[in-house]
Amino acid sequence: MIENLDMSLVDWSRGQFALTAMFHWLFVPLTLGLSFILAFMETIYVKTGDEFWKRTTKFWMTIFGINFAIGVATGIILEFEFGTNWSNYSWFVGDIFGAPLAIEGIMAFFLESTFIAVMFFGWNKVGKKFHLLSTWLVAIGANLSALWILVANAWMQNPVGMFFNPETARNEMVNFWEVLFSQSAVNKFLHTISSGFVLGALVVIGISSWYLLKRREQLMAKRSMIVASVFGLLSGLFLIFTGDSSARDIARDQPMKFAAMEALYEGKTRAPLVLAGALRGEEAGSGLGEREFLFRIEVPGVLSYMVHLDPAGFVPGILDLVRGNEEHGVLSLEEKISRGTVAMEALRELKDIRDTDSERYSELLARFSDEEWVENHFRYFGYGYFRGKDPATVIPHVPIAFYSFHLMVFLGGFFVLVFLATLYWGIRDQMDNKRWFLRIALWTIPLAYIASQAGWVLSEMGRQPWVIQDLMPTFAAVSRIDTETVQITFWLFAVTFTALLIAELSIMFKQVKSGPKEGEK
């Protein structure tokens, strides 16, 4: 079946999912960060009794609500696509992947959707403290929703806590807590939500800057900027910390992605960290997409330190991961394919002799329960699909991984500087005189979205060709449906999502221009 697969079906299915995911992520991160900013502002209102903070909270709550509604709509479509476009994937790991998504719907989504009604419509209808509790629960619920979705995604990048049942050819969860609290899941959750916090804070600062430039709602703008800058600065520093931890996870579990995001082809001890650089086109005849740098600025030993906490540590490059490096214990692609093929053929034989050779059947069945055999063979099951294929197919698109990673890191550092400057001038009440900075702050809004999208591009494009790291390549996960069907729905979704985005931006701009309602209680 794989040999006869139309690869354009895979490309269109990937494109459709990427389209939906990227539109979805235009709305979600703002709700993650803004929900907590709302909770902080309303807490100040309840503590002080100052109606100014109630009015301010209600204004930012409207911005939150617009994004929340559209985020839910695009998120539902994403989950449906697992069944429609990726049915083989859903069959192979549905027992594991479905669990966190089910918990997200049952627990987190119902928590936030229940209390969001109180948060929006409960002003002056319930007590101040209960309303404040509802706002906090919405913030917690929104981020719990992100937790379960990110746990599912982290499992795809580093499958743990599972057992492969050869009789059903399905992966089954054996340790829920290992799935939930794997190092990859924890770091992915913390890094992703902190990026949402940064984005939410930058949106508040950017919109507030617009008000100051227009000399409108100046008190609300200045106070909002102080709250957002404190929240954003703490989140930004935490984002850097979690990013460092996530990089070590990637180096351990997805070394090819790690090498691609640094465009490291030859493994090195004292490997340098590239701060900035530009890549040339592919070298003629290299066969593996090898590229040189037009220029680069690097710091010696830092990449090795990031991975091993030792500047003398060895970091494998793309060529090491393809050809192998015996000195440093790096298996070659050929060896991984060989081991994966053994596991795949054992599964195929098991299926063929199910009713004809009970002794051999039991022997093969026992292999899949043998920890050593699983570690040495089934661990590389997905590589069996690459037998006879070009080795370059296991290498992600290096320029995309490299540029998305460095753009994300550069902008992350820039945002921390924006928070520091906003807090400093905000506390000193000098923001009115920094109109040049207000213009920069306003333009950080699109930059925040670019950085957020770049992070997901690195995460998902960098792990290609895998949908489940080392176990299932993307082309094996796709549903066997007509390519034309996917093409039609792709363009339908593109038009629909674009219309939703235009409508959302129109409503938001209108809301910002009208500002908080005067005399609102």
- Is residue 261 located within the same domain as residue 169? no
Domain end point (choices 349, 384, 419): 384
Determine contact, residues 200/60, Cβ cutoff 8 Å.
no
- Is residue 208 located within the same domain as residue 135? yes
Residue 100 is encoded by which pair of tokens?
């966190």
Q: Give phi and psi for 438, each to the nearest 5.
A: -60, -35
Average pLDDT, the chain: 90
316 Rama sector, left if φ>0, alpha if ψ -120 to 50, beta otherwise: beta
Classify residue 518: in a domain, yes or no.
Answer: no
- Is residue 225 located within the same domain as residue 309? no
The residue segments making up the domain with residue 336 are 257-384
CA 17 centroid distance within chain: 14
| pLDDT over threshold 60, residue 284 | no
| pLDDT over threshold 90, residue 194 | yes
* Integer CA distances (angstroms), 476 to 5, 20, 21, 168, in order: 9, 21, 20, 17
Classify residue 391: in a domain, yes or no.
Answer: no
Please report, to the nearest 10 degrees, the dihedral formed by the alpha carbons of residues 80, 83, 84, 87 taken in order. 160
Please name every residue paired with 330 in a beta bridge, in sequence order, or none if there are none. 325
Determine contact, residues 21/78, Cβ cutoff 8 Å.
yes
| pLDDT over threshold 90, residue 91 | no
- The residue behind tokens 């539109």 is 23
Cis peptide before 166 (omega within 30 of 0): no
3-class DSSP state of 314: strand
Q: Determine the Cα–Cα distance for residues 191 and 238; give it in Å rounded to an integer.
A: 8
Q: Which residues of 173-209 are buried (b: 16+ CB within 10 A; e: fewer)?
A: beeeeebbebbbbbbbbbbbbbbbbbbbbbbbbbbbb
Q: Is the pTM of this model over 0.95?
A: no
Q: Among residues 139, 145, 205, 230, which one has the least CA distance to residue 420?
A: 230
List, for residues 246-280, the tens digit of each pLDDT value: 999 999 999 999 999 999 999 999 999 999 999 98
- Is residue 22 located within the same domain as residue 159? yes
Q: How many domains does the chain have?
A: 2
- Is residue 200 located within the same domain as residue 305? no
- Is residue 146 located within the same domain as residue 213? yes
Classify residue 519: in a domain, yes or no.
Answer: no
Sequence-ordered alpha helix ranges (H) in 313-388: 318-323, 333-352, 358-367, 371-376
- Is residue 353 located within the same domain as residue 402? no
List, for residues 173-185, the tens digit of each pLDDT value: 999 999 999 999 9
Please report, to the nearest 10 degrees, the dihedral formed by the alpha carbons of residues 255, 261, 265, 271 taken in order. -80
- Is residue 71 located within the same domain as residue 139? yes
- Is residue 226 located within the same domain as residue 274? no
Higher pLDDT, 421 or 364: 421
List, for residues 482-504, the tens digit of each pLDDT value: 999 999 999 999 999 999 899 88
CA 346 centroid distance within chain: 35
Residue 382 is encoded by which pair of tokens?
């997905």
Domain end point (choices 384, 410, 425): 384
Q: Which residues of 295-332 are buried (b: 16+ CB within 10 A; e: fewer)?
A: eeebeebbbbbbbbeebebbbbbbbbbbebbeeeebbb
Residue 378 is encoded by which pair of tokens?
């089934």
Domain end point (choices 359, 384, 409): 384
Banded pLDDT at 285 (limits 50, 70, 90): low
Q: Determine the Cα–Cα distance for residues 141 and 42; give it in Å rounded to an integer.
A: 17
Classify residue 406: in a domain, yes or no.
Answer: yes
- Is residue 314 located within the same domain as residue 166? no
Classify residue 1: in a domain, yes or no.
Answer: no
List, for residues 344-387, the tens digit of each pLDDT value: 999 998 888 877 878 888 888 889 888 999 999 999 999 999 99
- Is residue 141 located within the same domain as residue 249? yes
As a residue count, the chain comes to 521
| pLDDT over threshold 70, residue 89 | yes
Q: Determine the Cα–Cα distance for residues 133 and 45; give it in Å rounded to an integer.
A: 13
Q: Determine the Cα–Cα distance for residues 68 and 510; give it in Å rounded to an integer.
A: 17
In this prediction, residue 84 carries a pLDDT of: 86
Q: Determine the Cα–Cα distance for residues 517 and 521; give it in Å rounded to an integer.
A: 9
Determine contact, residues 39/139, Cβ cutoff 8 Å.
yes
Q: Determine the Cα–Cα distance for residues 337 and 398; give it in Å rounded to an integer.
A: 22
Classify residue 60: in a domain, yes or no.
Answer: yes
Sign of CA pseudo-dihedral 229, 230, 231, 237: positive
| pLDDT over threshold 60, residue 294 | yes
In this prediction, residue 80 carries a pLDDT of: 82
Residue 281 is encoded by which pair of tokens?
């086109």
Q: Determine the Cα–Cα distance for residues 38 and 115; give it in Å rounded to an integer.
A: 14
- Is residue 183 located within the same domain as residue 97? yes
Determine contact, residues 260/402, Cβ cutoff 8 Å.
yes
* Helix (H) or strand (E) segment spanning residue 473: strand 472-473
Classify residue 390: in a domain, yes or no.
Answer: no
Classify residue 363: in a domain, yes or no.
Answer: yes
